[in-house]
C-alpha cells in the first residue's frame, strides 16, 4: 500500500518519501514509494507528471492499492527522495475535474441525469449524459455554474462512516462498488455530494470561468464539451482573435459578422450561378462552331468535370457522332467522351484508358475520367482510330 497524500491535500506540490521498490520495465523503471502526492490516472482524470529523486516522471498508475511511478532512471530502494509535481498541469486538471462536478451536479439537479462518461483531454473535457439537453438549457446551466463559481463555494473532502454515508444523497452511487476502502466524498457546499478519488480545487472561485464549447448527440444522449480555468480564458482569447480577423476582412462590426458572412455567401452563390450560365452560353457558342463535324476531339483549358460533360453533350447535340473533350495539362488530363449512340463510348474509353494510363467510366453514350499522358499521345490515339 502507498499512502496517498493527494487524497487529503490536493495542493501538496513537493514531498519526500522512501523508495520501497524499483524494477526495470521495457524502457523505464517502475518505482513504488511509502507515500506519494502523485495522482495516478483515475475517474477520468489523467495522471500527474513531474520529477522524482532527479528522475523524470513519465506516468503514474494504480496497482492494487499501490501507486506505481514510471521514471526514466532507476532509484535506490531505501533511499529518501523528493517528488515535485508539474503544478501547472495538475492545477489545470483540478480545475477541469471540479468543473465537471459542478456542471454534472446542475444537470443532475435539473434533469435527474447521471454523468455516464467523463474524460479530461489535452485540450478539452467531455461529459456524457443519457438524454438530450437543448442549447437553451445548456446556456442556462452554464450561466448557473458560473454564478456558483462567483459565489466561491468551498469544496471539501470527507470519509463518512457507513451510517453517515447511507444517509447522504450522493449524486452518483455507481462508483461506490469500485472504490477500495472507505468512501471518499467530495462536496461542493449546498450543490453536490459525490464519491470521487480525484483531486479538486478548494473553492469554486478557482475555476475562474466555465465554458461549454460544443454539444453532440451521443448514444441516444448528449456529449457536452467544456473548458474551465485558464483553458477557458485562452479559448476566449483565440476565438476573439478569430472574430476580430473575420470582422476586419468583412469590414463589419463584430456583432454583425454573421449577417455579413451570410451576405458574402449569398453573393458568391449568385455569382457562381451566373458564371455557370455564362459558361453554358460560351460552350454553346463553341459547340456551334463544330456544327456538321462528325468527330470532335478538342482541348479546352480550365473546364470542370461538370463543364466537360456539358460541352461533350452539346457537341453531340450539334450532330457529332463522337465528342471527346479534354481539359488539364500535360500528364494530367480530365476528359468527357460522348457519342450519339453509334459508337460505344465505354469500349472506346476502356481502350484509351488502357493505352494512355487512364481511369474512368460511365454509360455507353457518355463516360468521364482522367489520363496521365501527353496531349500528342491523345491526338495520335484518336487519329489512329480514324476520329481526327
Least distance to Zn ion from the beta carbon of 205, Å?
Answer: 18
Q: Which is nearer to Zn ion, 93 or 196 (CB)?
A: 196
DSSP codes of every residue in 105-126: HHHHHHH---EEEEEE-SS-EE
In the shown chain, the binding pattern of residues 184 to 223 toward Zn ion, with x for contact by CB under 5 A and - for none, equals: ------------x-x-------------------------
Residue span 147-186 as binding mask against Zn ion, x where in contact by CB under 5 A, dash where not: ----------------------------------------
Task: Assess contact for 114 and 39: CB atoms under 8 A.
Answer: no
Residue 87 CB, nearest distance to Zn ion (Å)? Answer: 19
Number of residues that bind Zn ion (CB under 5 A): 2
Nearest to 38 by CA among 64, 63, 59: 59
Between 101 and 309, CB nearer to Zn ion? 101
Residue 133 CA to residue 379 CA, distance in Å, equals 63
Give whichever of 56 and 173 is closer to Zn ion, judged by the CB atom: 173
Give the shortest CB-39-to-Zn ion separation in angstroms. 11
Q: What's the min distance (Å) between Cβ of 198 and Zn ion?
A: 4
CA distances from 233 to 152, 202, 209, 286 (A): 18, 20, 7, 59
Residue 117 burial by CB count (10 A; 0-12/13-18/19+): exposed, middle or buried?
middle
The cell numbers describing 130, all together, are 443519457
Nearer to Zn ion, 48 or 293 (CB): 48
CB of 97 to Zn ion, least distance (A): 5
Backbone angles phi, psi at 243, to 5 degrees: -60, -40
Nearer to Zn ion by Cβ, of 90 and 309: the residue is 90
Distances (CA, A) of 357 to 5, 177, 310, 346: 69, 65, 24, 16
Looking at the Cβ atoms of 196 and 343, the one nearer to Zn ion is 196
CA angle 269, 271, 273 (to 5 degrees): 70
Q: Does 349 bind Zn ion (CB under 5 A)?
A: no
Interface with Zn ion, residue 312, by CB under 5 A: no
Smallest separation, CB 29 to Zn ion (Å): 30
Report the interface residues with Zn ion, using CB under 5 A.
196, 198
Amino acid at each position: 500500500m502507498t499512502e496517498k497524500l493527494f487524497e487529503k491535500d490536493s495542493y501538496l506540490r513537493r514531498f519526500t518519501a522512501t523508495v520501497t521498490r524499483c524494477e526495470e520495465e521495457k524502457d523505464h523503471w517502475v518505482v513504488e514509494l511509502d507515500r506519494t502526492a502523485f495522482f495516478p490516472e483515475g475517474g477520468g482524470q489523467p495522471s500527474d507528471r513531474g520529477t522524482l529523486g532527479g528522475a523524470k516522471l513519465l506516468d503514474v498508475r494504480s496497482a492494487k492499492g499501490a501507486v506505481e511511478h514510471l521514471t526514466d532512471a532507476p532509484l535506490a530502494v531505501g533511499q529518501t527522495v523528493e517528488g515535485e509535481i508539474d503544478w501547472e498541469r495538475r492545477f489545470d486538471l483540478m480545475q477541469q475535474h471540479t468543473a465537471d462536478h459542478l456542471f454534472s451536479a446542475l444537470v443532475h439537479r435539473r434533469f435527474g441525469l447521471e454523468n455516464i462518461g467523463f474524460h479530461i483531454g489535452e485540450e478539452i473535457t467531455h461529459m456524457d449524459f443519457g438524454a438530450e439537453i437543448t442549447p437553451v438549457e445548456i446556456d442556462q446551466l452554464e450561466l448557473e455554474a458560473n454564478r456558483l463559481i462567483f459565489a466561491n463555494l468551498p469544496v471539501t473532502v470527507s470519509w463518512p462512516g457507513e451510517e453517515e454515508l447511507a444517509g447522504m444523497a450522493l449524486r452518483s452511487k455507481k462508483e461506490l462498488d469500485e472504490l477500495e476502502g472507505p468512501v471518499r466524498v467530495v462536496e461542493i457546499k449546498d450543490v453536490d455530494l459525490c464519491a470521487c478519488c480525484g483531486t479538486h480545487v478548494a473553492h469554486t472561485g478557482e475555476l475562474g470561468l466555465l465554458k461549454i464549447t460544443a454539444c453532440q448527440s451521443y448514444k441516444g444522449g448528449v456529449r457536452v464539451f467544456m473548458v474551465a480555468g485558464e483553458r477557458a480564458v485562452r479559448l476566449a482569447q483565440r476565438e476573439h482573435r478569430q472574430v476580430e480577423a473575420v470582422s476586419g476582412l468583412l469590414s463589419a462590426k463584430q456583432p454583425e459578422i454573421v449577417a455579413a458572412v451570410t451576405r458574402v455567401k449569398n453573393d458568391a452563390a449568385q455569382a457562381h450561378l451566373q458564371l455557370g450560365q455564362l459558361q453554358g452560353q460560351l460552350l454553346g457558342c463553341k459547340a456551334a462552331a463544330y456544327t456538321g463535324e462528325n468527330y470532335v476531339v478538342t482541348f479546352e483549358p480550365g473546364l470542370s468535370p461538370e463543364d466537360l460533360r456539358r460541352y461533350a453533350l452539346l457537341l453531340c447535340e450539334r450532330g457529332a457522332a463522337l465528342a471527346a473533350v479534354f481539359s488539364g495539362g500535360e500528364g494530367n488530363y480530365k476528359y468527357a467522351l460522348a457519342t450519339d449512340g453509334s459508337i460505344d463510348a465505354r469500349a472506346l474509353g476502356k481502350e484509351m484508358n488502357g493505352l494512355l494510363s487512364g481511369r474512368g467510366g460511365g454509360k455507353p453514350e457518355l463516360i468521364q475520367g482522367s489520363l496521365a499522358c501527353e496531349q500528342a499521345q491523345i491526338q495520335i490515339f484518336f487519329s489512329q482510330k480514324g476520329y481526327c
